[in-house]
C-alpha cells in the first residue's frame, strides 16, 4: 500500500467515455498494462431524528481491499474512521431503525485499472445515483508510504500524464498528513471528499 493521489480530470466538453478513452490511450502509450477493473462505492446513512443531533455514516468499499468495509462517521465536530470485515454491511441493515440510507446519494467510481512500473493508475467514471458526474483519476505510487517524500514525484507523474490539468498542490485531506504513514483509509477519505463535491455539483445530465 503506497501513497495515493486522487484528482478530478477536467472534462472540458467531452463526455465521460471519451475522457476515459483519451486517458487510456495516453497511459497505454507510456507503457502501462491493464490489470483488470476497479470499483469504489459509497453509501451514506443518516441518523433518525430521535437519536438527537444528526450524524452521518459513510460506508465505502474499495475493490483494492475486497475483504474490508470502510466507514467514516461524521458528527459535525469530527470524523471517525473505522475498518471492519465485510459483515459490517449486514450490521448496517440491522441498524435501519436508527440509521437510514439515502439512496439518492449512492456514489461510485469505476473503470479500468492499469499498472506501469511501480505506479498503479485507475481511471474512474463517477456516478451519483446512476447519474454521470465526472472522471476521477487515482494514481498510487506503491513503494513509498510517506506522502511528503514522494509528492513531487507523483506531481511530475500526474502532470506528465494529465497535462496542465494535473494537480499542483496535494489534496486538501493530505495536506495536514504529509509526514504520516499512508494507509488505505486515507484513500477512502479522499474518495469521500470527491464524492461529497460531486453530490453537491449539479449533474451534467449525461448517462455514461
Partner 1 sequence: MSAPGNAMDSLSAALKCNIIPNQEYLLQGSVLDQYVEVLLHRLRGLCDNVDSGPESFHDHELCFSLRIANTGATTPMSVFSLRVRRALDVSDTPYQLRYIGQQELGDKNRPTVVRSSIDMACSSTIVDFLTELGCRVDFEYIARGYMFRKGRMKITVSKIFKMGGNKPGETVEPISQSYLVELSVLAPSGQDAIAEDMRIFAEQLRPLVQLEKIDYKRLGNIM
Partner 2 sequence: MERDIEQLNSALSAIKVLRSNVRNVFDSVSNGLRADHGDEGKESKFVHELQELLTTVNNNLRDVENAVSNLTPPPGAFSLGNTTYLSQETTQERQALYGQLVNSYKWTDKIREYSAVAGNILAANSFNKTYKTFSTTKRRKTQTSNHNVPPEVIENLITSIDRLFPDVTFTTNRPLVPNPVIQVSLGRVLKAIIAFKGLMIEWVAVKAHAESNDLWAESRYKVFRKVTENCHAAMCHFHSPMMPELAVRSFMHWFHSYNTLFSAPCKRCGNHLHTTLPPTWRDLRTLEPYHEECK
Q: Give the residue, chosen from 78, 152, 176, 179, that forms a contact with partner 1 under the rule CB under 8 A.
A: 78
**Do the Cβ atoms of 135 and 8 come closer than 8 Å?**
yes
What distances in angstroms separate CA 144 from CA 81, 148, 197, one per listed residue?
22, 10, 28
Q: Report the residue number, 45 or 161, with the smaller CB distance to partner 1.
A: 45
Per-residue x/- track, 95-124, partner 2 (CB under 8 A)? ---------------------xxxx-----
By CB under 8 A, tell whether 160 contacts partner 2.
yes
Q: What are phi and psi of 67, to 5 degrees?
A: -95, 5
Work out whether the CA dihedral 43, 78, 6, 181 comes out positive or negative. Answer: negative
Contacts of 63-68 with C-beta under 8 Å, sequence gap 24+, read 63/37, 63/38, 63/39, 64/38, 64/184, 64/187, 65/184, 68/184
Which of 180, 175, 189, 172 has its CA nearest to residue 70?
Answer: 189
Q: Which stretch binds partner 2 (CB under 8 A): 123-131, 150-158, 188-196, 199-207?
A: 150-158
By CB under 8 A, tell whether 89 contacts partner 1.
yes
Q: Give the residue, chosen from 29, 31, 36, 152, that forms a contact with partner 1 under the rule CB under 8 A.
A: 36
Q: Report the residue number, 68 or 129, with the smaller CB distance to partner 2.
A: 68
- Return residues touching partner 1 (CB under 8 A): 34, 36-39, 41, 43, 47-48, 50-52, 55, 57, 61, 63, 66, 69, 71, 73, 75, 78, 80-91, 94-95, 97-98, 108, 110
Amino acid at each position: 500500500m503506497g501513497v495515493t493521489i486522487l484528482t478530478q480530470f477536467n472534462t472540458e466538453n467531452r463526455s465521460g467515455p471519451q475522457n476515459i478513452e483519451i486517458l487510456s490511450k495516453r497511459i497505454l502509450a507510456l507503457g502501462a498494462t491493464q490489470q483488470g477493473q476497479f470499483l469504489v462505492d459509497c453509501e451514506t446513512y443518516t441518523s433518525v431524528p430521535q437519536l438527537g443531533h444528526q450524524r452521518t455514516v459513510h460506508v465505502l468499499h474499495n475493490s483494492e481491499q475486497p475483504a474490508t468495509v470502510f466507514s467514516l462517521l461524521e458528527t459535525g465536530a469530527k470524523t471517525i474512521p473505522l475498518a471492519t470485515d465485510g459483515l459490517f454491511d449486514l450490521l448496517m441493515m440491522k441498524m435501519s431503525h436508527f440509521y437510514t440510507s439515502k439512496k439518492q446519494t449512492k456514489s461510485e467510481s469505476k473503470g479500468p485499472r492499469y499498472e506501469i512500473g511501480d505506479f498503479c493508475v485507475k481511471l474512474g467514471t463517477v456516478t451519483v445515483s446512476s447519474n454521470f458526474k465526472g472522471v476521477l483519476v487515482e494514481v498510487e505510487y506503491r513503494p513509498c508510504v510517506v506522502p511528503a517524500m514522494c509528492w513531487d514525484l507523483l506531481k511530475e507523474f500526474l502532470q506528465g500524464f494529465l497535462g496542465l490539468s494535473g494537480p499542483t498542490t496535494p489534496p486538501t485531506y493530505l495536506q495536514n498528513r504529509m509526514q504520516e504513514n499512508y494507509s488505505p483509509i486515507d484513500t477512502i477519505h479522499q474518495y469521500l471528499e470527491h464524492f461529497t463535491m460531486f453530490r453537491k455539483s449539479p449533474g451534467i445530465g449525461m448517462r455514461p
